[in-house]
Amino acid sequence: MTILVVGATGATGQLLVEQLLNRGHKVKVIVRSPEKLVKAVANNDNLALISANLLELSDSEMIKYTNKCDAVVSCLGHNLNLKGIYGQPHKLVRDATHRLCNAIKANNSGKSTKYILMNTTGNSNRDLNEPISFGEKCVIGLIRLLLPPHVDNEMAADYLRTNIGQKDPMVEWVAVRPDNLVNEENVTKYQVHPSPIRSAIFNAGQTSRINVGHFMADLITEENVWNKWKGQMPVIYNVASM
């Protein structure tokens, strides 16, 4: 398979790329800081490195880079500093998702391409009736006001849910929702649920980035896993944190 990963220099993106390469797939990455890629990944013959600022690419470049990809994954996230949180681009994840999906459609490859979005348990799947307490609603309202990246994450998932929807012939999607992200060396046991089973605000569990990468790699390569979760926003928890 050929997979395009954006956000590939990130803490989760790197682990996903490594696992896809270990499974023998070809991976394309569009990165603005190639020096951040670990050597084992950067020097892998199956890695195609495109050095560019994603949202500065033209539409025709996006079309070229998504051409013949079986899957496109966004592990994008705003850098956790003042510029990343409050500076441009405010809608990094939403705009990347929108433009990459448009590019997939423009390629008109005759088969559907998988789009996987890294999202968050702080966002609800509004296709389902996910219960949220009054206290959680208040805190999420505050987060929306104070932390623009949260709104960006919500808008990216909403774009997939409402603009791409469940029946698009070109794009099938999954928005993966990890709980509190932690770093671990190895893949461990994890559980995947259609909706949160604990409060993301008042009782968050943990999800290791390497487990997120493993689940995303399974979504791409295992048809039964894809068919189980396509068009949904699965929540992933480390078993050890439950």
Ligand X SMILES: NC(=O)c1ccc[n+]([C@@H]2O[C@H](COP(=O)([O-])OP(=O)(O)OC[C@H]3O[C@@H](n4cnc5c(N)ncnc54)[C@H](OP(=O)(O)O)[C@@H]3O)[C@@H](O)[C@H]2O)c1
Of the pair 160, 170, the CB lying nearest ligand X is at: 160
Out of 139, 155, 181, 187, the residue judged to bind ligand X by CB under 6 A? 181
Of the pair 227, 242, the CB lying nearest ligand X is at: 242
Residue 78: DSSP 8-state: -
CB atoms within 10 A of CB 221: 18
How far is 123 from 207, CA to CA, in rounded Å? 15
Q: Would you count residue 213 as binding ligand X (CB under 6 A)?
A: no
How far is 97 from 76, CA to CA, in rounded Å? 10
Q: Would you count residue 238 as binding ligand X (CB under 6 A)?
A: no
Q: Which stretch binds ligand X (CB under 6 A): 37-45, 74-82, 105-113, 129-137?
A: 74-82
Q: Which bin fits 57, alpha (ψ -120 to 50), beta or left (φ > 0)?
A: beta
Phi/psi for 213 (5° steps) reads -60, -40
Q: Would you count residue 7 as binding ligand X (CB under 6 A)?
A: yes
- Token duo for residue 192: 């995947």
| Closest CB 183 distance from ligand X, rounded Å | 9
Q: Would you count residue 118 as binding ligand X (CB under 6 A)?
A: yes
Binding residues for ligand X, rule: CB under 6 A, are: 7, 9-13, 32-33, 36, 53-55, 75-79, 89, 92, 118, 120, 149, 153, 178, 180-181, 209
